[in-house]
Structure 1
Amino acid sequence: MHADNLEVVAALPDGAFTLIYLDPPFNTGRSQARRTSTSVRSAGGPGSVTGFKGRSYERIKGDLLSYDDRFDDYWEFLEPRLIEAWRVLADDGTLYLHLDYREAHYAKVLLDALFGRESFLNEIIWAYDYGAKSKNRWPTKHDTILVYVKNPSTYYFDSSAVDREPYMAPGLVTAEKAELGKLPTDVWWHTIVSPTGREKTGYPTQKPEGILRRIVQASSREGDWVLDFFAGSGTTGAVAGALGRRFLLVDRNPEAIAVMRSRFAQAPVSFLSL
């Protein structure tokens, strides 16, 4: 079936997924006319959620669009998909939205309105050091991952299941602690996928398994369903499957589908070719 991922996600049942990880394209390439009026959703729906400073979701969206014309096209693409992500999240579920630094601040305010500000859990900074070095500004070497939960009272999170990392100053802790390692904070130092490493699939936006492993370990249990509808190279599924989670991968890019078919050739998987 060839269709937009929005159509597929809209057909999924409510509350079916414990974990949703999304790494959407940073530039949709779409050309759309700017809206001059604001739509109003039915009372009680996601669009009627009161967010930042008690202002409605639609009001915040309108205000932000008035500040930056470039934001309009991107959010017109991403907004309905995040609304569906909210709907299909389980009551104890968590959304991880992986974004470019140029869009993350807009998305955070709007997710505050959609999910409720009390549902914001973390802003994770993934820091890396690879590629060209700018000499006329501080080099940009990080991505932002926004973390929101469906219900702040019941969400699932198990930090003890996460792989530990070395202390940056092991001499300041006991030998036992240094050997055990420390739990990660909201700043994750992790290299990108090595151009010559075993993980490399050739897909241009492939994310490292170490980043997804940490997310899946912390925010899902064995047997839980994990969803990624911008699946790309399929890293979310590869990690989820290895950790005993069930997963659904969706992507409309034929190149992504080809990469995933090759990557999962020897494993039973569920992904939709769109």
Structure 2
Amino acid sequence: QITVLGTPAEEQGGGKIDLINAGAFDGLDVVFMAHPSQENAPYLPDVAEHDVTVKYYGKASHAAAYPWEGVNALDAAVLAYNNLSVLRQQMKPTWRVHGVIKNGGVKPNIIPSYTELEFYLRAPSMKDLSLLTEKVENCFKSAALATGCKVEIKGGANDYYNVLPNKSLQKVYKENGKKLGIEFISEDSILNGLSGSTDFGNVTFIVPGLHAYFYIGSDALNHTEQYTEAAGSQNAQFYALRTAKALAMTALDVIFKPDLLEAVREDFRQVKLKEEGQINPV
């Protein structure tokens, strides 16, 4: 049996996580998907991700007449941002922290009583993400302490897990793709590269998964106007259909080759153990 699932809100909110909680993946042996990119790869190390919204509450006052009566929430936001900039020296090369100040005050002559920041934290594993989150939250808390503001730190509804690789699925998909003329990037490029984050990572923690990437005929970068235009072109349809065929061929291999399915399940079991720290990586 083959099930086709559409995913709402992959970029914001984690639609696949809602599908997991609703039981949509229960009873499935493997799950496949493909994501457009600038290259063809059976896997890229998509990392774990945590959203955080930070709100500082101070006290408004006239900035010229009696500023000493105020408690400056913008100062707290700026200190928090600078604290994170200082933290970067002690961050691992694979960690990422990026964010914006969404609300910085109302008018220059009013001490801001409220500011809001939004940040994304990323790391290669959930374990690393937990360590990074603690360090970042300390940066937010110390800014509140220094300025006398109150701080509210709220995580997103769902964390995105890192995508777990499955070497057996990747090998078969790559073999099928080559039969269709797909040229894949090297293993070194895969291992040394970094990608974004996806709620498909959460899926790979409950069922063996394949998250491939495919070239669409353009060197434009994802999440740009140029890439949006390229993705809608007739040229991109050829590459998307070719990738779909490679996925379908891989699905047939899993269905009709019991030994392959057993290998896929064993890969899944081993990589889960590594992720949970129960065995040492080879």
Q: Which has the larger radius of gyration?
A: 2
TM-score normalised to the size of structure 2? 0.20
TM-score by length of 1: 0.20
Give 1 or 2: higher helix fraction: 2
